[in-house]
Amino acid sequence: GNSVTQMEGPVTLSEEAFLTINCTYTATGYPSLFWYVQYPGEGLQLLLKATKADDKGSNKGFEATYRKETTSFHLEKGSVQVSDSAVYFCALSVGAGNNRKLIWGLGTSLAVNP
Amino acid sequence: ETGVTQTPRHLVMGMTNKKSLKCEQHLGHNAMYWYKQSAKKPLELMFVYNFKEQTENNSVPSRFSPECPNSSHLFLHLHTLQPEDSALYLCASSPDKFGQETQYFGPGTRLLVL
């Protein structure tokens, strides 16, 4: 079946540290891959996405590359800030047309200390 | 500013109460969604509306009753809930159901059932 596996949190880092949040998936066909972020007290926001193999999504200093050979979409940022403290969700979409579905990971909580 | 608003932000209710959650989107989207977010669980899609028509009901108990009077408004009517229904209820919208992956979320209603 289709599934998304994220590394368990919480992840705690100091400001300016390098961030990696792992995400791997299983899916039939050719899924699109996404990272959403949920800041405290808010709903989810799309952070970045990639729609085909080898695509790199990027936004706000975050990057993730769609790796079909390793079925992964790891989120990275070179230098985190306190304002990056949030919960990060990896997701994939499968299917076509009216049967399209979004499959969500459990989320990884990130806390960045000054 | 996500363009999707939800009221109330917090709700405490007894198991015999009846209450309603409201969602409004100001983005001109045609598809709207209700999600349930519980700790340690993936995001659960509850209902999908596309052009005011319900297109998905993911085996949600009948004590949750959605209503979509127009493309901008979505309600979730609650009655005789159980304590395990306590969660964050998120509303989302997207241009149409075929573009389901690019969703815009509201801040959620934090529900506590006593």
Which chain B positions have a beta carbon within 8 Å of A98's beta carbon?
55, 97-98
Q: How far apart are CA A39 and CA B8, in angstroms?
A: 19
Q: How does DSSP classify residue A67?
A: B
Indicate if the pLDDT at residue B89 is higher than 90: yes
The reported pLDDT for the residue numbered A28 is 84
Name the pairing type of β-strands B73-79 and B87-94.
unpaired
The beta-carbon neighbor of A100 closest among B100, B104, B108 is B100
CA torsion sign for B24, B37, A31, A98 is negative
| C-beta atoms of A105 and B42 within 8 A | yes
Q: How many CB pairs under 8 A join A and B?
A: 54
Q: What is the pLDDT of residues A39-63, one digit of tens each?
A: 988 889 999 999 999 999 999 999 9
B88 is written with which tokens?
Answer: 């964050």
Asked if B44 and B64 count as a contact pair (C-beta separation under 8 A), the reply is no
